[in-house]
Amino acid sequence: MDETKLLSGKVVSENINETTIKQIEFLKSKNVNPGLVVVLVGDDPASAIYVRSKGRMCERMGIVSETITLAADTKEQYLLDLIDKLNKDDRYNGILVQLPLPDQIDEAKVIDRINPLKDVDCFHPKNVGLLTIGSPYLLPCTPAGIIEILKYYKIDPAGQDVVVIGRSNIVGKPIANILIQKAAHANATVSIVHSRTKDLKKYTQNADIIIAGIGVAEFVKADMVKNGAVIIDVGINRVSDPSAKKGYRVKGDVAFDEVADKASFITPVPGGVGLMTISMLMHNTIKAAARQHNIILDSE
């Protein structure tokens, strides 16, 4: 594997984190202590690991952080009432309710209840609308991380044929909306393909950039990719492996070993987009804090 092909999320996230730490210091000089609260409902192992990672990053950066853990059988109204309280709590500039939620809770109601100014995930309908018309203040964390990787490695999507595999509200739809805008680091021609697409391979074989977020381990094979394509792998899938220390290995949505030989650039899993997601969450929390206190940050 040619190391020069790797799009390292570790390198880019460390660069973003350095800027965020300076912004935190600047806010604190203005007597603003940025805060993030995360609500975790239930005991999903993957969600718990992710939430702990967020807490550690907050601690490292000096962001006030709290995790509120609720039982899996929590009533919907209880969670909605809790969000109302957090909306009014000035200690927290960002509110994040970890998804997925248990079946008895309507995710749409919960997302809609969060104050859009504190919605650091950018899932609230108001923030989705602003993104769609090209006027967002914050960007959803994972798509924002993808854009930062492309920027850092000077990969300009303008005029490029981009295929997004997956149509989720978390990755597929927002990254497509970002890339089609008439703006810097955008101006791409974007196709979204998914489980109902006829001849999906026809699209991917002609793509200059492929963004895989379908949630299927090693879905993208070498015969789906043209020579020289840029591959962004968003997938994080646990694949059983008795020989591994933990009993599983983490695989992306791309068959890395075979696709890497054809790609001009490719993100690894782990070590790629996943690291960027938490860095962009910290970045969004700081931007939200600045906005709520009418402070302009140097990067704006």
Supply the residues annotated as catalytic.
54, 98, 121
Measure CA of the first residue to CA of the last residue in the chain; give whole Å: 38
Tokens 């006027």, located at residue: 135
Q: Which helix (H) or strand (E) holds 44?
A: none
| SS3 call for 222 | helix
Which pairs count as long-range contacts for 199-207, CB under 8 Å and 24+ apart, including other chains?
200/165, 200/224, 203/163, 204/163, 204/165, 206/161, 206/163, 207/161, 207/162, 207/163
Return the sign of the alpha-carbon dihedral for residues 95, 100, 102, 105: positive
Query: In sequence order, what are the beta bridge partners of 6?
Result: 266
Residues 6+ away with beta carbon under 8 Å from 222: 255, 258, 259, 261, 262
Q: Is the backbone peptide bond immediately before 100 cis, with ω within 30 degrees of 0?
A: yes
Kindly give the pairing relationship between strand 237-240 and strand 248-251: antiparallel
